[in-house]
A and B are shown apart, each in its own frame.
Chain A
């Protein structure tokens, strides 16, 4: 290190070696004593040592998270959410010692000592925070266990719960649940499936809108913070009661579903078992278009996301401008840039939910892009942060006569990088985690051909203040569009259509690492329907 003063150079070398061994936890007694001795010799040694530790820790963080900048370990939005929460758990959480653990993958641990009443496991790639009501106590659960008062928030992925009573549940993110006791769970947010054995009849789930008491059954709950909750009974019997106003209650049997309305009545809706997962999936929920199969004007859509069941992808092809042609793998979708596109009935991911899109992309050789064209996206274009789409921006002298890619959040908010050159296949992936970097910016990570684009090569478009806010993709604004490929989201103005080829499109509910993106690019990941090519 060049900031070392002129002292015995051997000591600096020795310090480097001992510090490295320290970082690997493999010092012996003599080495440990020697390291301490050197560190006590003067502040310059301690600063040098701390520099080494810092550098190694940042490298470890980057390698573990694939983030350019280390995101905060503590999920600040969750802390804020804790304080703002309206439920009775606020008092419990604000006065109890809290222990937050952010983990991604782990093992299912069995409880033996009786204090824990729930064990859980998560899908690979899940991100969650676990809060216990008794931190620093011998009763504090360790590992993936919950006791009375434990709260689990899941920002991406899914979790399978197993209670001591035998109740099983699979819950998809975003989710927020608290275990009140061995027979009662609150679910403030989440898409949850429950299976209750006979010996656990009476199991109770409380959402902000509904109080659900099981009478021996299998059921699903949609708990949504800014919308009305739903109960879907798949088998058996459930007692559902509204929490406010009319406080209507009903005993529902298999095949029945209700949605609470604004005055506390239970409105009949079609039961939708497909909205829930009953098994923990191997990977994050995803949608996948291979562009290999077209039946009439409908494209095959696959994946593990529950909404795939009802998702319809329709090709709009005036003048036969949208066709399936030879692609990167099998066939690809070809759009002529005139009036063709693919539309769906899927609204997209809402709010600031972590997300990743991954696809192969080819522009026609010698193509001229003199106007913007929307490659794919969804959302509402009426406000600064309410849409999420990928746009090809035209080449200009200012950008070296090369087209650029925008990841747009609104009419004038985007991040921008250079587009790959025409005439060749390129893999593009964009992943959003919802984490803020130290500059206070929320930025997607962009990968081209599996390589992360450095932030130095990304330009912020629009007011910087917009980049300091979480994205807030709307699914219901006045200029809202469902997910589509190939046409602009700007309703009401001139539409621009995309010209080019797209293949192997994935939309994944969660943020992925560089390694995972490379695996998908190479076709080596678990994000692949088993029957597919």
Chain B
């Protein structure tokens, strides 16, 4: 039996880069599932990318790139947990492993173009105050403490407002996907 083909970065860069770029969103979402701060999650994603790139020659073409990438991402998450021992925002190792197993099933669903279109549409259609809150949280990078100061509201109220904004966004996307893909059971896409 022929040995599996290896991707050599010197002559098959495009193949590897295509796989790498195609997994950015799902890797970031997986990392953020275990590291809530989005900036830290992005930093870890960069670490993962670089490890993947350095090890690209070891990747066997035709094997499961996602499984390999999630394994490395899981390792990097746990490595970062060592610096966050006292934080309330870490999970135990088994749970991170379980989520790595689940995430592989989400890939196709998350790559659905309608889902992204619906998200874009629904961000535009969000009620003004919900959109402003999400803008302030993500575009301007404000923490909920900063949002509390800006809105002169308690943290618990800001938490509720953010929860409602997200729920509103999810409901809109769910409806939108139903409209876009009525025959494909679009409500499962969220």
Contacts and interface: CB of A to CB of B under 8 A. Distances in A.
B135 A56 contact: no
Nearest to B169: A59
A436 B46 CA distance: 18
Interface residues of B, number: 71
Interface residues of A, number: 65
Q: Is the interface of A mostly helix, strand, loop or mixed?
A: helix
Nearest to B174: A2
Interface in A3-25: 3, 16-17, 20-25
Contacts of B167: 16
Nearest to A46: B102
Interface string A170-213: 00000000000000000000000000000000000000000000
A76 B23 CA distance: 13
A139 B163 CA distance: 40
Which among A2, A29, A97 has the greatest number of chain B C-beta atoms within 10 A?
Answer: A2
A349 B139 CA distance: 29
Contacts, number: 185
B78 interface: no
A99 B47 contact: yes
Contacts of B29: 50, 53-54, 57-58
A73 interface: yes
A458 interface: no
B131 to A, nearest CB: 9
A453 to B, nearest CB: 11
A26 interface: yes
A22 B36 contact: yes
Contacts of B9: 83
Which among A17, A47, A51 has the greatest number of chain B C-beta atoms within 10 A?
Answer: A51
Which among A31, A43, A50, A440 has the greatest number of chain B C-beta atoms within 10 A?
Answer: A50
Contact of B50 (A21, A47, A55, A98): A98
A324 interface: no
Contacts of A70: 24-25
Interface stretch (A60-68, A219-227, A237-245): A60-68
A88 interface: no
Interface of A: 1-3, 16-17, 20-29, 31-32, 36, 39-40, 43, 46-47, 49-64, 68-70, 72-74, 76, 79-80, 83, 97-102, 135-136, 436, 438-440, 454-456, 515
Interface of B: 9-10, 13, 17-18, 20-22, 24-26, 28-30, 32-33, 36-38, 41-43, 45-47, 49-50, 53-54, 88-89, 91-92, 94-95, 98-99, 101-103, 105-106, 110-111, 113, 116-117, 119-121, 123, 134-135, 137-139, 143-144, 155, 159, 162-163, 166-167, 169-170, 173-174, 187-188, 190
Given A46-B99, A58-B29, A69-B116, 18 more contacts: A16-B167, A24-B144, A36-B95, A39-B99, A47-B105, A47-B106, A50-B102, A54-B26, A55-B166, A57-B29, A57-B38, A59-B138, A68-B120, A73-B24, A73-B49, A76-B17, A80-B17, A98-B53
